[in-house]
Amino acid sequence: MSEQEPDEEPTPAPEPPARRRTPEQTRDDTDRGWGERPDEDEHDRWLREQRPPHWE
As averages over each run of 10 residues, the pLDDT of the chain (56 residues) reads: 63 80 77 77 86 81
pLDDT computed for residue 4 by the predictor: 58
Selection from 50, 32, 53, 31 nearest residue 42 by Cα: 50
- Under 8 Å between Cβ of 30 and 38: no
C-alpha to C-alpha distance for 46 and 56, rounded to whole angstroms: 16
pLDDT computed for residue 24 by the predictor: 80
